[in-house]
Amino acid sequence: MTATLVIGPYSDSDRDALNAGFDPVLVGGPSEVAALDESTRAGIRAVAFKGHHPFGAAEMDLLPALGLVANYGVGYDAIDVDAANARGIKVTNTPDVLNDDVADIAVGMLLMQMREMEHASAWARSGEWKAKGEYRLNRKMSGGTVGIVGLGRIGREIANRLAAFKMDIHYYARSEKDTPGWTYHADPVALAGAVDTLVVALVGGKDTENFVSAEMIDALGPRGVIANISRGTTIDEAAMLDALETGRIAGAALDVFLGEPNIDPRFYALPNVVIQPHQGSGTVETRAAMGQLQRDNVAAFHAGAELLTPVN
């Protein structure tokens, strides 16, 4: 009898590797766990989890022998870690292997937003360049002032890249970090008021819900641009939409949204918003590395070895 349950929408290559390594039971989402027969559920010791649907106390209690939930992704806010702690269940994630790709997307989205690259491409493709002449002037990114909200692994990679664009780096974190002279703000509203561009790189979860508040958005001001590569929950989305629609901020570059992929249709009417389909880590190389790290954690657990990337 298998000791591993695989939950989520895995690629063919990841599913093949999981099958080869663990001969698991596979289900599409947490809601399908209850449909497994009792003897199967009783034998499950490890879960390989992928997705954004909640995996919490109710699902854990259906798996009485469960000792590990190995998450596919650095963000593990879908997993109730407090419930796992109460049941002696370890949780792992897949950090570091996706830092570069997510940081690259953040910089790319900012360039798209400020240099209006999507609109300029459409201008050229449609024949308007030939018919009407040069595309309108847009906004310089290099040399600006940027605030990083959350200077963890990914936030630091973003800051390093933007420093190469000669940008003045400011940041908010729970404590001051060792940096090459970047400006620390203990107050996130003060950070927003000091910069032109705000990049949100927080972890998801209840502790960071609406962290980027209406007050922060207003402090950013009418030239301000917000980029978000964290979770849709970290920004007061309604307040951001209101500010975008009324010109109280200049624009946004977003890879994550509330309720994705069913995002608020108000975004589609805003030409000053770059929209990406939550693809920050979406390269072949990085997704393969994420899958491998998840499987390595599952294998270590079954072997009684030290977990590679525990979060609790």
Same domain, 72 and 108: no
Mean pLDDT of 11-19: 96
* Helical axes 12-22 vs 284-302, angle rounded to 10°: 20
Check whether residue 258 and residue 128 sit in a common domain.
yes
Determine, yes or no, domain membership for 310: no
Orientation angle between helical segments 99-115 and 117-125, nearest 10 degrees: 60
Mean pLDDT throughout 191-196? 98
**CA 246 to chain CA centroid, nearest Å:** 27
On the question of pLDDT at 2 being above 80, the answer is no
pLDDT tens by residue, 219-262: 999 999 999 999 999 999 999 999 999 999 999 999 999 999 99
Residue 223 tokens read as 């030239």
What is the pTM for the complete model shown? 0.91
How many folded domains does the chain comprise? 2
Is 266 in the active site?
A: no
Burial of 167 (0-12, 13-18, 19+ CB in 10 A): buried
Same domain membership, residue 174 and residue 53: no
Q: Could you tell me if residue 82 is inside a domain?
A: yes
Distance CA 220, CA 192 (A): 5
Active-site residue 260, yes or no?
A: yes
Identity of the amino acid at 19? N
Residues 142 and 258 in one domain: yes
Give the confidence band of 209 by pLDDT, cuts at 50, 70, 90. very high
Query: CA-CA distance, 165 to 162, in Å (whole number)?
Result: 5
Give the active site residue among 231, 237, 287, 295: 231
Write out pLDDT tens, residues 282-299.
Answer: 999 999 999 999 999 999
CA pair distance 125, 146, nearest whole angstrom: 32
Range of the domain at 69: 4-95+284-302
* Same-domain status, 90 and 178: no
Q: Same domain, yes or no, for 235 and 103?
A: yes
Is 311 within a domain?
Answer: no
CATH number of the domain within which 54 lies: 3.40.50.720
Query: Has 231 been annotated as catalytic?
Result: yes
Residues 199 and 83 in one domain: no
**Domain match, 293 and 235 both:** no
Q: Which of 15, 260, 266, 302 is catalytic?
A: 260
Q: Which two tokens stand for residue 150?
A: 């959350």
* Range list of β-strands (E), the chain: 4-7, 25-27, 46-49, 68-71, 90-92, 145-149, 168-172, 183-184, 197-200, 225-228, 251-254, 273-275
Catalytic residue among 170, 185, 278, 287: 278
